[in-house]
């Protein structure tokens, strides 16, 4: 896997953005989605709000962009943008079945400052996937570069680490969100020539927190698609719809256990 440059995270920039963007806590705009009345269920109970945070454009890896470019003539930024909005749309669609959903990608101009603040407030680390033999976490940034050993590629995923205290509470104050779905990274992998039935793979790295900072779900969501499929919109529909469903299933808090009532014995 190729290396990518990560710019230093300047704390004072984050603090300035905090003062600028989150001071608008009571502002209502299209980024926040529909109004409060439309967040009520038919029973009149307000749904929990979920905030979808798209991946930083730097956190995009693809082995198939050249093939897509040859067939569609799309530029590399256009391809990346299509996949970035594609996974966001799929997540919004599936989470809307149970929650009131807010996307920070739906209005990029108004949410740009918030996204930059969030990106400056988090870190990344490669973490052993559940079920793998290795158990030691590995730092994602070495000498200013984001790298991962090739031999560990299939065993690790990119996990979010919140470095700025109060980040989730600040987002809750502005957006009213109680669940935060971070799309950490997207990898699009070419088909292995040794496979009998060559298929490409889409990997979506994610971490989901509740308001208290507890992880509700984290890891890799994977889906396979045809090796000759080079239409980004069809790839989104074919593969990212599956990964969004996996993230939804693994990020949804389990329902509370039903209360059991003990019937007192009748006196004889």
Q: Which residues pair with 188 in a beta bridge?
A: 62, 202
Report whether 181 contacts 91 (CB < 8 A). Answer: yes
Report whether 137 contacts 127 (CB < 8 A). Answer: yes
Residue 136 domain-assigned (yes or no): no
Residue 3, pLDDT above cutoff 50:
no
Q: How far apart are CA 79 and CA 103, in angstroms?
A: 20
Quick: pLDDT tens for 112-124: 899 999 999 999 9
- In this structure, what token pair is assigned to residue 159? 């996990």
The total of structural domains in the chain comes to 1
60: domain CATH number is: 3.40.50
Reference 221, options 233, 239, 200; nearest CA is 239
Percent over 90 (pLDDT), the chain: 57
Calculate ∠ Cα 140-143-147, nearest 5°. Answer: 35
Q: Which residues pair with 102 in a beta bridge?
A: 51
Quick: pLDDT tens for 75-91: 999 999 999 999 999 99
Domain that holds residue 166: 49-121+157-251
Residue 79 domain-assigned (yes or no): yes
């Amino acid at each position: 896997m190729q290396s990518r440059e990560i710019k230093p995270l300047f704390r004072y920039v984050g603090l300035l953005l905090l003062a600028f963007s989150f001071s608008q806590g009571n502002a209502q705009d299209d980024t926040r989605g529909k109004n409060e009345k439309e967040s009520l269920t038919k029973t009149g109970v307000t749904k929990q709000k979920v905030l979808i945070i798209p991946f930083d454009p730097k956190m995009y890896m693809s082995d198939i962009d050249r093939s897509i470019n040859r067939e569609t003539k799309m530029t590399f930024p256009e391809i990346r943008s299509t996949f970035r909005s594609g996974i966001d749309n799929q997540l919004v669609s599936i989470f809307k079945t149970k929650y009131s959903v807010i996307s920070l990608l739906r209005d990029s101009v108004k949410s740009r400052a918030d996204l930059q603040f969030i990106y400056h407030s988090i870190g990344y680390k490669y973490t052993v996937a559940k079920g793998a033999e290795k158990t030691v976490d590995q730092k994602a940034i070495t000498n200013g570069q984001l790298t991962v050993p090739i031999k560990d590629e299939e065993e690790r995923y990119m996990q979010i680490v919140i470095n700025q205290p109060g980040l989730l509470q600040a987002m809750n104050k502005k957006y009213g969100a109680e669940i935060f779905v971070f799309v950490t990274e997207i990898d699009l992998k070419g088909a292995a020539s040794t496979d009998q039935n060559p298929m490409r793979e889409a990997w979506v790295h994610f971490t989901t927190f509740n308001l208290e900072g507890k992880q509700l779900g984290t890891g890799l969501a994977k889906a396979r698609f045809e090796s000759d499929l080079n239409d980004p919109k069809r790839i989104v529909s074919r593969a990212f719809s599956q990964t969004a469903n996996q993230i939804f299933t693994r990020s949804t808090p389990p329902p509370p256990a039903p209360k059991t009532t003990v019937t007192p014995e009748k006196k004889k």
